[in-house]
Amino acid sequence: MRILSRGPTTGVFGAVAVAFSLLLAGCTMAPDHYPRKGDVKPHPGVARAKTLPIHGIDVSRWQGEVDWNSVRDAGTKFAFIKATEGGDHLDPAFNRNWAGAKAAGVPVGAYHFVYWCRPAAEQAKWFVQHIPTDPDALPPVLDVEWNGHSQTCPKKVPRDVALEKIKIMLAELERHTGKRPIIYTDITFHEEVLRGELNEYPFWIRSVAAEPHERYSDRQYALWQWTTTGRVPGIRGDVDRNAFHGSEKQWMAFLDSTQRPGAAPARRIAPDMAPPSGAPPGLMPPAAVAEVEATASVRSYLPF
């Protein structure tokens, strides 16, 4: 674009205006807490995830050999590791990843991928048979989603059957670990099965093209998987990146109350407090968070 000059005075004021605009842009630009990490295919709809202070990853055999010290040094605050699937599959990298993350000091938890063609009791038994009863571990995760790409079980089961299976496995995981499990799910499965259900459990939800409140109706959540094409030092290739939905203080309370038996109840965001003007529902900045004691119906490690 060609700009016509109107003399030195206009030029000075123009330069000042440009400088002021850049200053304002810098003030309003939210920080990226993890500049050493990246995303091969960043989506503008989830850019705000980078401003959340607590980030972690989830891994399985597909990430290959992981340098957990480098993962830790990049600021990773937690890692969920695939342990089992169905009633007879153990992820071949589980024990190596678990030991490596623990040795590096990365808070770690295990997850089970549900196979809908296997009885729930058998799956729960298989999972607890392979995960350590570690008092310092994060709560176990039950990964529930349809798997249309499966060669042996691509079908969907009726909603009531899916819910029954889920409840059986959740109860067994809690009995085994002493910690209420986290439910991981995606948009489709949540809409078809979980909407309005199991509100007493913490949720970890996948939303890689929009913020969670745009995809999940009235769902409080603890963790947000915001990309599957992340890059993290210590891992070759893509890795899922996740963010904790809360402040650093809430994260520390979450860790403290999950890791120490009999710990005092953590605190949570008051469910009836409206977000500040312009903020997405349920995504309140730390300064606007109202903390109240968790009730008996909400377990101590629920951050919300």
Going by pLDDT thresholds of 50, 70 and 90, the confidence category of residue 30 is low
What average pLDDT score do residues 209-238 get? 96
* pLDDT value, residue 255: 79
H helices present in the chain, as ranges? 8-28, 68-73, 94-104, 120-130, 159-177, 187-189, 212-215, 248-259
What average pLDDT score do residues 238-258 get? 91
H helices present in 105-211, as ranges? 120-130, 159-177, 187-189
Going by pLDDT thresholds of 50, 70 and 90, the confidence category of residue 218 is confident
- Render the burial of 110-131: b for 16+ CB within 10 Å, e for the rest: bbbbbbbebebeebbebbbebb
Catalytic pick from 145, 197, 248, 291? 145
The residue type found at 196 is G
What span, in angstroms and rounded, lies between the C-alpha atoms of 284 and 247?
A: 9
- Residue that has been written with the tokens 């503008």 in this structure: 44
pTM score of the predicted model: 0.79
* pLDDT value, residue 178: 92
What average pLDDT score do residues 219-226 get? 96
What average pLDDT score do residues 220-238 get? 97
**pLDDT at residue 6 tops 60:** no
What span, in angstroms and rounded, lies between the C-alpha atoms of 65 and 62?
A: 9
What span, in angstroms and rounded, lies between the C-alpha atoms of 158 and 303?
A: 31
- The secondary structure of the chain in percent helix, strand, coil, rounded to multiples of 5, reads 35, 20, 45
DSSP string, 7-56: -HHHHHHHHHHHHHHHHHHHHHSPP-S-TT-EESS--GGGGGGGGSS-EE
Burial of residue 35 (CB within 10 Å: 0-12, 13-18, 19+) is exposed
Average pLDDT, the chain: 81
Element (H, E) at 111: strand 108-113
Going by pLDDT thresholds of 50, 70 and 90, the confidence category of residue 152 is very high
Return all residues near 50 (Cβ < 8 A) that are at least 6 apart.
30, 32, 33, 34
* pLDDT value, residue 254: 82
The number of beta carbons lying within 10 Å of the beta carbon of residue 60 is: 19
* pLDDT value, residue 258: 67
Greatest Cα-to-Cα distance within the chain, rounded to the nearest angstrom: 82
What span, in angstroms and rounded, lies between the C-alpha atoms of 132 and 32?
A: 34
What span, in angstroms and rounded, lies between the C-alpha atoms of 144 and 131?
A: 18
Name which residue leads in pLDDT, 249 or 21: 249
Active site residue 145: yes
The helix/strand/coil state of 88 is coil
C-alpha 277, offset from chain centre: 25
- Percentage of the chain beyond pLDDT 90 is 69
What backbone torsions phi and psi does residue 108 show, to the nearest 5 degrees? -135, 145
